[in-house]
Each structure stands twice: as structure tokens, then as C-alpha cells.
């Protein structure tokens, strides 16, 4: 099925809901889902973003901007790190999703909205995503998955719809930069966020700063690695990240790999 045909199917799916709350991060998938929801449900859509401390502040700002452009009501809920996640357990994604959906559900109930939708795609089935189990347990609707959208489908249709997010690189919460079992502190999260924001500001779109205590291990997109063959640039990056609290700055030679600090997916 062509991407635009999947989109027509998605619109029919969403229209049948009559109203919905979109669990909204501001990323590629949730922006696309919010756009489609607003197209058919108009004022009967509410976007909700849960702002845990491990969600970058710039991502929240982008979510606000996108919701405003789409003329959709948007609510941001500030929430602390769930107690079960303070030492970054392997099941953090499950716990996070469970807590996030619980908060979103409470807001939906206040609005009298029964349907909560979330942006899981067909491609997400290929990655280690324990959070999907929480979505299944809580019976959250996943329209993009049900309509078999891949990331590439979403990029194609998003571009046709004029969404600025069509070429937005994948992003994940800051906890994915920290090894399992390490105590999470606000200082550590800020150190990572500042480092990644700086690298984005100098033109690196797809990067991860994996944080190992005082050591920053940077994963650049494979296509960007050649830019690092510049001694002045390397010195500048190292000096900047050391301002944020790192004593050593290293580069992952193999480049960025999604889920590089995940537990292996069980067979």
C-alpha cells in the first residue's frame, strides 16, 4: 500500500474515534499523528506532553511550537523521575511509559475523552522497546502501527503535508545515554543535554553523548565522522564539553547506532 493510501486509512481510523488525546513528544511520529488527528477531529483533539526531568527542555519548546502551528490544544505536565527509575534499570522504558500513560489518562478523564493514541510505528517492532508492553497492558491505541506506517512512510507523507518535522532525526530520552544501574541526577542530565545541544548547534543533527561518569563518548552519524578529521574542531568540541563537567571526551569510532546502550532483545 502506498504511503498516501495509508494516510487515508489513518484518517478514517481517527475519524471513527470522535475525539482523542495524543501522547505528544514533538518528534517525527507524534507530530504526524497529531496533524492527522487535527485534520479530522479538529477541536476534539488534545495533545499532552509529560515533562519528566530526562526530557530535554528544547524538545518541550519544540512541542509547544508545533502544537501552536497545528492549532491544537496542548498541555504539558511536569512530573518527577519515577521512584523505580532512580537507578536507570533495564526496564526503565516500561516504567516510564506506565507512568506517562497514567498521567495522560488522568488528564483525558478530566476532559471526558476516552481514546488515547500514541505514535508507535511498524519499525519500532524491530527495536528493543519494553515500553510497548506497557502500552499493550493499558490498551492504548497505536494508529500508526495499526495502519502499518514505517518511518519512511511518515517522512514521505509529512513532507507532502508541509510538516517541518519530515526530516527530523530520531531522538530518545536522556536516560538512554547512561548505563543501567547508575543513579540518575539532575546534574548528569543537564550535562548530557547541554553537550548534545551544543553539538546540534554546530551542525551535527544525529548525535548521542553517551555519559560514563566523567567521560563523554560521542556517537556521530556515520556520514558526519569525516568532519572530525579536523584538529581544531576536535579541540573545540573537547573544550566545550569539559565546560559542562566532563574530564575526557571520546568519539565512538563506529558512529551512532540506535539503542547502543540497550539490553539485547530477547529471541
Grid coordinates 476532559 are at which residue?
A: 111
Q: Give the global pTM.
A: 0.91
Kindly tell me the burial class for residue 139, based on how many C-beta atoms sit within 10 Å of its own C-beta (0-12, 13-18, 19 or more).
exposed
Number of residues that this document lists for the chain: 267
Structural domain boundaries of the chain? 3-167, 174-251
The x, y and z cell numbers of residue 236, run together, are 573545540
Q: Give exposure, 9-40, as e/b (b: 16+ Cβ within 10 Å).
A: bbbebbeebebbbbbbbbbbbbbbbbbbbbbb
Using a pLDDT cut of 90, give the percent of the chain over it. 87
CB 130 within 8 A of CB 93: yes
Cβ count within 10 A of residue 1:
10
Distance CA 263, CA 49 (A): 27
How far is CA 147 from each of CA 3, 97, 187, rounded to the nearest angstrom? 10, 22, 41
DSSP state of 67: H
Q: What does the pLDDT read at residue 261?
A: 62
How far is CA 135 from each of CA 26, 96, 146, 201, 213, rounded to the nearest angstrom? 19, 11, 13, 34, 32
Q: What does the pLDDT read at residue 157?
A: 98
How many Å from the N-terminal Cα to the C-terminal Cα in the chain?
Answer: 29
The CATH number of domain 3-167, selected from 3.40.50.620, 3.30.390.30, 1.10.260.40, 3.40.50.1860:
3.40.50.620
CB 11 within 8 A of CB 45: no
Lowest mean pLDDT among 13-27, 102-116, 223-237, 246-260: 246-260
76-107 residue pLDDT tens? 999 999 999 999 999 999 999 999 999 999 99
Q: What is the mean pLDDT of residues 185-193?
A: 97
Q: Which fold has domain 174-251?
A: Alpha-Beta Plaits (3.30.70)
Pairing state between β 207-212 and 215-220: antiparallel
Amino acid at each position: 500500500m502506498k504511503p498516501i493510501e495509508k494516510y487515508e486509512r489513518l484518517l478514517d481510523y481517527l475519524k471513527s474515534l470522535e475525539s482523542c488525546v495524543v501522547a505528544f513528544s514533538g518528534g517525527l511520529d507524534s507530530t504526524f499523528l497529531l496533524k492527522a488527528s487535527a485534520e479530522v477531529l479538529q477541536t476534539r483533539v488534545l495533545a499532552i506532553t509529560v515533562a519528566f526531568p530526562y526530557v530535554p527542555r528544547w524538545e518541550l519548546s519544540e512541542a509547544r511550537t508545533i502544537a501552536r502551528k497545528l492549532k491544537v490544544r496542548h498541555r504539558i505536565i511536569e512530573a518527577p523521575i519515577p521512584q523505580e527509575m532512580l537507578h536507570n534499570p533495564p526496564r526503565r522504558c516500561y516504567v516510564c511509559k506506565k507512568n506517562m500513560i497514567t498521567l495522560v489518562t488522568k488528564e483525558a478523564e478530566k476532559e471526558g475523552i476516552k481514546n488515547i493514541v500514541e505514535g508507535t510505528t511498524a519499525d519500532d517492532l524491530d527495536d528493543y522497546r519494553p515500553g510497548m508492553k506497557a502500552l499493550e497492558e493499558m490498551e492504548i491505541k497505536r494508529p500508526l502501527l495499526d495502519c502499518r506506517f514505517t518511518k519512511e512512510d511518515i517522512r514521505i507523507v509529512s513532507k507532502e503535508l508541509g510538516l517541518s518535522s519530515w526530516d527530523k532525526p530520531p531522538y530518545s530520552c536522556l536516560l538512554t545515554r547512561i548505563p543501567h544501574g547508575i543513579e540518575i541526577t539532575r546534574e548528569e542530565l543537564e550535562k548530557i543535554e547541554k553537550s548534545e545541544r551544543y553539538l546540534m548547534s554546530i551542525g551535527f543533527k544525529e548525535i548521542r553523548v553517551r555519559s560514563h561518569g566523567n567521560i563523554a563518548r560521542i556517537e556521530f552519524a556515520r556520514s558526519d565522522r569525516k568532519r572530525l578529521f579536523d584538529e581544531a574542531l576536535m579541540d573545540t568540541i573537547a573544550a566545550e564539553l569539559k565546560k559542562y563537567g566532563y574530564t575526557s571526551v571520546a568519539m565512538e569510532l563506529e558512529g551512532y547506532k540506535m539503542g547502543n546502550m540497550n539490553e539485547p532483545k530477547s529471541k
